Each structure stands twice: as C-alpha cells, then as structure tokens.
Amino acid sequence: MSLVKIIPKHLWVAASSWGARGISACVQIVSVHYLVSLLGEDKYSAFILLGGLITWCNLSDFGIGNSILNYIAERRAQDKNYEYFILVGSVIVFILFFIVAVFLCFLSMTVAEQYLKIYSDAIINNKIILFYISTLIFCGTALAGIIYKIWYAEQIGWLSNLFPAVCALIGLLNIIVVRKIDGNFSDLLIVFVLFYLPALIIPIYLLLKRYRFEIRKTKLNRRLFAGASLKIIERARPFFIFAVMGAIVLQTDLIVLSQKGDASEIILYGVLLKIFNVIYFIYSAVLQAWWPVCTELRIKKQWVELKKSIRLSVGLGALAITTLIFLVYCLQDVVFKLLGLGGIEKGSFILYCLFCLYFIIRAWCDTYAVLLQTMNSMKPLFIIVPIQALINFILQWYFISILSLTGILIGSIISFLCTVAIYLPYKFNQQIKKQTH
C-alpha cells in the first residue's frame, strides 16, 4: 500500500497548509529586497500600508465562504447532493463583487487621502485610484476564494493551499522580472498590481470554470435559489462577526501608524512583523495539529493530561519564540542589509523584547481560544474580543504619541493582559468543572 493511501486525507491537507503558508510568508520576506530596490523606502512604506488592508478586505465575503463550506460538508456526510449550493454561492459572490466595487468607489474618495496622508503628492499623486485598485483586488480575491472553501469541503483542501502559494510565487516572479527589465521602474500602482493581481485572477478563473461545470448539470430555480440563499446568508452571520472581531484586534496597528507614524517606522514595524509572523506561524501550525489531540482528551475527560499538554505547548512555544526573536535581534544588521534596508534605523533591544512578549501572550491566548473551540464554547470569545478590540485601539492611539513605535506594542500587550489572557483561561476552567460534574 502506498504512503499516499496510508496517511489520512486531513493530514495531507494540514501538511499542505503548513507548507503553503510557509511559502507565502517567505515570499513576503524575500519580496522586501526587490520592492525596496524598485520603489524606494517612502513608496515601500505606502506599499506596506496598502498591503495591510488585505485583512479588512477579507471581510467582504461576509462569511459566505465558511457558510458554504459547512453546508457542503454536511450534505456530503449525509450523501446528499450539494451542487446547488455551489451554484447559489457563486451567484451570491458575483453579485457581492459588483456591490463591493461600487461601495469601494465611495470609500476610496472618503478614506484614501486620510489613510495615506503622510505622503506628499510628489511621492503618491493618485491616492484615490491607488486605494481603490488595492482594495478592489483584495476584496475580489476574498470573494473568489470561495472556490478554496468548496475544495476544503470536498476534502481536496491541498488544492486550496497550493494555489495561493503559487499565486504568491507568481507575484514575486513578476517583481523580479520588472526589476531585471528596468531597475529604475518605480510606479507604485503597477508594482502593487503585478504583485497581488495573480491572487485575484487565478481563483476567479477557477470559480468561473466550476460554475460553468455545475450550471450544465443543474438549472437555477427562483424559489430554490431564494431558499438556499437565505440559508447560506443566515449561517454566514456568526462567521462574519467573528472575522470582524479578529480584524479589529490584530489589524488596527497599521491604521494607527498611518495616522501617527512616519515612513521609517512603518517599514521597520512592517518588516519585523513579517519576519516574526513567520516565526509565529510555526506555533500556529502546532496548534492546528494539536486541535484533535485536545478534542480527544476532552472527550475522555483526561483533564490532568490536557493541562500538562497546555503547559508543554505554551512553554515550548514561548521558548522557541524567545530564541528565534533574540536570534533575529543579534543578526538584524545582516538581515536588514539582505532585505535592502541598510539605511533604516534598526530596532532597539526594548522593541524586540516587546515583540517577544507580545507573541508569547498571543500564543497563550490563542491556545485557550483553541481549547474553548474544541469544547464548542464560542460565547466567551464573542463577549471578550470586542472589549479587547476597543481597549487595544484606544491604547495604541494613546501610547504611540508618547512612546513612538514601542507604544503600538505596549498598547496591544496591555489590551491582551487585561482581557483575553485572563478571561479565556477562566472560562476554560469553568468548562472543565461543568463537564466533570
């Protein structure tokens, strides 16, 4: 029997997910050198701010993708036909895309100048167009990404992991080719489009191809379409709310920096975050693999073993994070030179310590978030995350004025320590008591 058949499908999907996410993260780091050499430091800092919009734009699918994934998975488990949900979901996505495109016109005219206010017209003279094209690409990518959700539900999720990694590599290749052809090319809009457009074009093509395949077999019925649409939209709501909360907690930093930081601070923070996110990706991958282990221990009510596993996981995670971030600090001159950022002022030891503390606290909180999800206890997250999001934004906005870049991290750290770092373990222990008696 071949190795492919011996190893369960979900493990292949998990492995491909880790590999693909690792490739995408590495592409983000490798691309820094080429982008800085093309754009220069000021325009590259604007590139970082625009790239930071991707998480907000991912909200444009309003949870539809996860809703369809659930319905398809359920119907497959029941040996029922699910093709109609693919058709309906595709139509909803196409409609949403046009609505979002119109909305982004008004948003760009309102927000673009303020978001990119630190850049003079000599650096960026088309802020509204740049903001609109950037957000349109990201929103389109999020909506077309429904095809990846469909593949996950059909248990061919390795394709859902493969294509985004391929798109990232194509984007990097585009930048390398442009630099080879004309090393003085510095149009921010064109460079941005070349880097991110593959991630939009490829899933759109794949979704249209799947839609054409399904429409040949199944005809849309107005009554059935309305019923299926309502089901999909109704189930999408909690996914959307949870995504909004996550975005507010983790993505306010660049908004604050866009208003109160300068180009060098944005580059330093953005590049360090890219590097440290690759490090944290390792812990996220461990958490993903640890999920079924937690579920099994919970079902067997082996609470002592589960708590030992928690201590081991967080302890090893903290050790790995500390070691790797300290290593980056020691080698930062070499790292920044390789990335073409020799002229950027390096981060202080305190800044690296704060990044280290921030990611250790993230590891602690994410661990307990996973534990609560394995217990199907989502309510604590819905209660505490909005509170943390509000505290996080207020503190970041306040501290950056006093402490510059370190203020962003101090604000985030305090918001975590005051809320989820305490509340999630408390609710986890409550759940253990309930399930013990």
The DSSP secondary structure of 153-196, one letter per residue, reads HTT-HHHHHHHHHHHHHHHHHHHHHHHHH-TT---HHHHHHHHH
How many angstroms separate the CA atoms of 371 and 368, rounded? 5
Per the domain annotation, does 152 fall within a domain? yes
- Considering the domain architecture, whether residues 132 and 223 belong to the same structural domain is answered as yes
- Considering the domain architecture, whether residues 228 and 265 belong to the same structural domain is answered as no
Residue 347, H or E segment: none
Per the domain annotation, does 268 fall within a domain? yes
- Considering the domain architecture, whether residues 134 and 269 belong to the same structural domain is answered as no
**For 107-114, what is the mean pLDDT?**
92
Per the domain annotation, does 2 fall within a domain? no
- Considering the domain architecture, whether residues 55 and 203 belong to the same structural domain is answered as yes
**How many residues are present in the chain?**
437
Per the domain annotation, does 241 fall within a domain? no
Beta strand residue intervals within 220-373, DSSP E? none
**Domain end call among 203, 236, 269:** 236
Pick the range with the lowest mean pLDDT from 91-100, 117-126, 127-136, 198-207.
Answer: 117-126
The more confidently predicted of residues 189 and 159 is 189
- Considering the domain architecture, whether residues 49 and 147 belong to the same structural domain is answered as yes
- Considering the domain architecture, whether residues 267 and 229 belong to the same structural domain is answered as no
Q: Note the pTM of the prediction, 2 decimals.
A: 0.84
- What is the residue range of 311's domain? 261-436
CA 26 to mean position of chain CA atoms: 15
Per the domain annotation, does 150 fall within a domain? yes
Instruction: Give how many domains the chain has, as a whole number.
Output: 2
Per the domain annotation, does 248 fall within a domain? no
Q: Over 60: is that where the pLDDT of 82 sits?
A: yes
- Considering the domain architecture, whether residues 21 and 130 belong to the same structural domain is answered as yes
Per the domain annotation, does 156 fall within a domain? yes
Q: Which two tokens stand for residue 183?
A: 């090393």
- Considering the domain architecture, whether residues 226 and 352 belong to the same structural domain is answered as no
How many angstroms separate the CA atoms of 79 and 54, rounded? 36
Sequence-ordered list of residues with C-beta below 8 angstroms from that of 393, at least 6 positions apart, any chain: 248, 252, 256
Per the domain annotation, does 142 fall within a domain? yes
* Distance in angstroms between the alpha carbons of the first and the last residue of the chain: 45
Q: Which of 98-102, 215-219, 223-227, 298-302 has the highest mean pLDDT?
A: 98-102
